[in-house]
Amino acid sequence: MRSLDFSSWHNLIFTLIGLALFALIGVGIRLLAMFTIQQRRERMNRQINERLRTLIAAYKVLGGSFTGDLMVDPTHLRNLRRADSEQPVTEAAEEGSSSDRKRRIRDAVEAALSDIILLGTEEQVRLAERAARDLASGQPVHTHELVASLRNFIREALDLDPVPADLAIPMQGPARPSNSNRGKGDREGAKVGGRGGGMGMGAGGGLVSDDITDQHKGI
């Protein structure tokens, strides 16, 4: 306050201009700091959301089943084809669909393990690395331990209560692929066949009616 000079209108104007500039610079610095912090926070939120989305998708792949075969078969498709070529045709046809399902499960599990190695915690990365090594060495893999780690991490990140300790959750394994594409193809084929049959019946009916008309004209 000692530096403020109100002795004349000239000094008063300069003093007010100086105060206005000081306040404007202070507000600008504050807005710039707030904008920078907000951008950083939004970037962190996007990264966290993307990480959670990826880990949730991996959890669904690795732990989407409670029944059936809960292990991942590491056998490669070319080995299955080589084994099928050595078997009789009937046995190879019976095992073809199951081999394709095992291959799709293995491919989905490998992609999920790759995402976990990229975005998981240290514990999850170690578990995923061990599962990937077992798959590469041709050993069947259980994913229940990794699924439990993912479940606890996701619930904690979403501020959810932990799973009660007294619950006996069954062992979880990789989700079984659906046959929606095959069913869709069958339905489309049936529709095409139905339309073709209808067109054929319509064309045949038209030809028959023309023959009957010509016979009446001849009579």
In a domain, 203, yes or no: no
Domain count across the chain: 1
- For the ranges 104-118, 126-140, 176-190, 199-213, the lowest mean pLDDT is seen at 199-213
Give the Cα separation of 73 and 25 in Å (integer). 66
Q: In this structure, is the dihedral angle defined by the CA atoms of residues 39, 40, 44 and 50, taken in order, positive or negative? A: positive
Q: What average pLDDT does range 15-26 have in this prediction? A: 87
State pLDDT tens for residues 149-181: 999 999 999 999 989 988 888 999 898 876 654
- Which structural domain range is residue 27 located in? 6-158
3-state secondary structure of 172: coil
In a domain, 211, yes or no: no
Q: Tell the burial category of 27 from Cβ atoms under 10 Å away from its Cβ (0-12, 13-18, 19+).
A: exposed
In a domain, 97, yes or no: yes
State pLDDT tens for residues 48-80: 999 999 999 999 999 988 887 788 888 764 555
Share above pLDDT 90 across residues of the chain, in percent, rounded to a whole number: 37
Q: What average pLDDT does range 87-111 have in this prediction? A: 70
In a domain, 181, yes or no: no
- For the ranges 4-8, 143-147, 187-191, the lowest mean pLDDT is seen at 187-191
In a domain, 196, yes or no: no
In a domain, 166, yes or no: no
pLDDT of residue 76: 63
In a domain, 86, yes or no: yes
In a domain, 102, yes or no: yes
